[in-house]
Amino acid sequence: MDVIVIGGGIAGVATAYQLRAAGHRVCVVERHATVAQGATYGHGGTVLPTPLDVWFGPTFMASRQNARNGVISKTGFTGPARQFVKQLAALQDPEAFSRQYGRLRPLIELSREAMADVEARFGLEFEQTSGLLYLVRSAQEWEQTQPALDLLRLNEVPHHVLTPAECSAFEHSVRAEPEFAGGVLFDQERTANSPLFAKLIKQTLDTQGGVQFMLGCEVSAIRLEGQRASVELAPRPGASSRSREVDVIHADAVVVAAGHGSLALLDPLGLRLPLHPLRLHTLVAPIAHEECAPHVAIVDAVKRIAISRMNHRLRIAGGAVLQSAAQIDKPLGKALTKEALALLGQATHDWIPGAARISAALPWEGVKLLSPDGLPVIGNALHPRLFVNVGHGPAGWGLACGAGKLIADLMSGQTPDVPADTLAALRADRF
């Protein structure tokens, strides 16, 4: 089939790769001049999500205080954003959390296999580093972490539960004082560079052929007609009025993998996904004192702030701001930006004092889409020729290869290698 993939982030590029591998001809349309310029650019590094990473469950937004949650909530008292938070809060119940993570897990394992296959085939180097140490502050938060630890044991995920002293002994940059509750070490899980991976996959596809990248082109609308699907391209800025006729590309199927831009493309078709945009921040800071810098990635487990090392810098990611969807295209404003970046700086100072020169850090902000049940939307939707691959929340980097494989299998009429309840839990019509 001829397939158009809208979006050149990690989701779109990984989908294009899997579609090409399944024998389809693919055209990726990306509005930026190159791939990986959206949320993919600002990734925190963590590859596959453990039960401690997902943005639902007993520890997610469990406190009413922004500073304790790591999420600055500006939803107001009513309205859809507030409603969204309430829906996610239902998954704080340990049983609901376990059930939902259970549905996600086969996709995580599919992604692990699909990524390993790509790595082995092409010998890609994208700053893969093993070792993540998740740290928990208070006894109450440690208690709330237990359902996640139960899931790790149940699913036989290799990990070590450590006392504060053991955390410090393993990772000297973490001080045992002031007191904290404990840590969980994953010595086999990895951090890696998501935009670099996306670019390497693009290079591979450029060499192999079969995938065309239309860069600097914005899709303005999707058309679904009988057995065909097409996309309309917005006129390029500066194009003469004569050339302002609508350019249309026709295909057999369209995959919407346009991150935050997906909603504006799907809404006019009548597909209103209840995904909520969340602003996230990163700081890339020079190492201040080498002897204080960690050799594994450090994650503030409750605040979902990840600190990973990239050569002589630390990448600190998190600091989410939750507002109404209407505000997401407006600038955040100095005060809220400062508050969000302060969360990142404080977490770094708390866990690995002296490691980073925060005053010299470069800030970045991006938007990711989160779903009210914590799971992405992957699969066919609304019309036999329309597919979506969106809403991966905090895990779009790690899930990209598996999500792309799922789309390719579904489009090729193959049965995906995940249980039926996982497929159903990812469908667009589940809401």
Ligand X SMILES: Cc1cc2nc3c(=O)[nH]c(=O)nc-3n(C[C@H](O)[C@H](O)[C@H](O)COP(=O)(O)OP(=O)(O)OC[C@H]3O[C@@H](n4cnc5c(N)ncnc54)[C@H](O)[C@@H]3O)c2cc1C
Task: Provide the minimum distance between the beta carbon of 377 and ligand X in the complex, in angstroms, as a whole number.
Answer: 11
Contact 381, 388 (CB under 8 A): yes
Q: Which is nearer to ligand X, 10 or 164 (CB)?
A: 10
Task: Provide the minimum distance between the beta carbon of 396 and ligand X in the complex, in angstroms, as a whole number.
Answer: 2
Q: Which is nearer to ligand X, 164 or 185 (CB)?
A: 185
Q: Please choose, out of 28-36, 145-153, 291-299, 416-424, the segment that lies near ligand X by the rule CB under 6 A.
A: 28-36
Instruction: Return the residue of 66, 282, 348, 380 that touches ligand X, per CB under 6 A.
Output: 282
Of 82, 79, 78, 56, give the one whose Cα is nearest residue 69.
Answer: 56
Instruction: Return the residue of 317, 332, 355, 358 that touches ligand X, per CB under 6 A.
Output: 317
Alpha helices per DSSP H over 171-245: 194-208
User: What separation, in Å, do the N-terminal and C-terminal C-alpha atoms of the chain show?
Assistant: 29
Helix (H) or strand (E) holding 334: helix 334-351
Instruction: Return the residue of 201, 285, 306, 388 that touches ligand X, per CB under 6 A.
Output: 306
Does position 30 bind ligand X by CB under 6 A? yes
Give CA–CA dist 423/413, Å, rounded.
14
Does position 280 bind ligand X by CB under 6 A? yes
Instruction: Return the residue of 46, 111, 144, 193 that touches ligand X, per CB under 6 A.
Output: 46
Please state the separation of Cα 419 from the chain's center in Å.
22
- CB nearest ligand X: which residue? 396
Task: Provide the minimum distance between the beta carbon of 50 and ligand X in the complex, in angstroms, as a whole number.
Answer: 11
Does position 37 bind ligand X by CB under 6 A? yes
Contact 174, 294 (CB under 8 A): yes
- Footprint (CB under 6 A) of ligand X, residues 327-366: 366
Please give the structure tokens belonging to residue 298: 């450090």
Task: Provide the minimum distance between the beta carbon of 189 and ligand X in the complex, in angstroms, as a whole number.
Answer: 11
Of 402, 312, 325, give the one whose Cα is nearest residue 107.
Answer: 402
Does position 379 bind ligand X by CB under 6 A? no
Instruction: Return the residue of 5, 10, 253, 418 that touches ligand X, per CB under 6 A.
Output: 10
Task: Provide the minimum distance between the beta carbon of 266 and ligand X in the complex, in angstroms, as a whole number.
Answer: 11
Q: Please choose, out of 25-33, 86-94, 335-343, 351-359, the segment that lies near ligand X by the rule CB under 6 A.
A: 25-33
Residues in Cβ contact with 370 at an 8 Å cutoff, skipping those fewer than 6 apart: 55, 88, 275, 276, 277, 278, 391, 393, 394
Task: Provide the minimum distance between the beta carbon of 179 and ligand X in the complex, in angstroms, as a whole number.
Answer: 28
Instruction: Return the residue of 24, 303, 304, 392 that touches ligand X, per CB under 6 A.
Output: 392
- C-alpha distances out from residue 210 to 24, 91, 172, Å: 8, 42, 49
Give CA–CA dist 350/231, Å, rounded.
49
Does position 368 bind ligand X by CB under 6 A? yes
Amino acid at 319: G
Task: Provide the minimum distance between the beta carbon of 222 and ligand X in the complex, in angstroms, as a whole number.
Answer: 9
Please give the structure tokens belonging to residue 44: 């925190």
Does position 51 bind ligand X by CB under 6 A? no
Q: Please choose, out of 40-48, 80-88, 148-156, 355-363, the segment that lies near ligand X by the rule CB under 6 A.
A: 40-48
Does position 111 bind ligand X by CB under 6 A? no
Does position 40 bind ligand X by CB under 6 A? yes
Q: Please choose, out of 44-52, 66-74, 79-87, 110-118, the segment that lies near ligand X by the rule CB under 6 A.
A: 44-52
Give CA–CA dist 306/294, Å, rounded.
12
**Dihedral (CA of 329, 335, 340, 345) sign:** positive
Of 303, 281, 66, 98, give the one whose Cα is nearest residue 180.
Answer: 303
Other C-beta atoms lying within 10 Å of the C-beta of residue 408 = 27
Task: Provide the minimum distance between the beta carbon of 122 and ligand X in the complex, in angstroms, as a whole number.
Answer: 20
Of 408, 396, 277, 329, give the one whose Cα is nearest residue 36.
Answer: 396
Does position 314 bind ligand X by CB under 6 A? no
- Footprint (CB under 6 A) of ligand X, residues 240-269: 257-261, 265
Contact 263, 275 (CB under 8 A): yes
Which residue do the tokens 């690995």 mark?
A: 352
Please state the separation of Cα 204 from the chain's center in Å.
23
Task: Provide the minimum distance between the beta carbon of 38 and ligand X in the complex, in angstroms, as a whole number.
Answer: 2
- Footprint (CB under 6 A) of ligand X, residues 202-231: 218-219
Total residues interacting with ligand X, rule: CB under 6 A? 40
Tell me which residues touch ligand X (CB under 6 A): 6-12, 29-32, 37-40, 42-46, 218-219, 257-261, 265, 280, 282, 306, 317, 366, 368, 392, 394-398
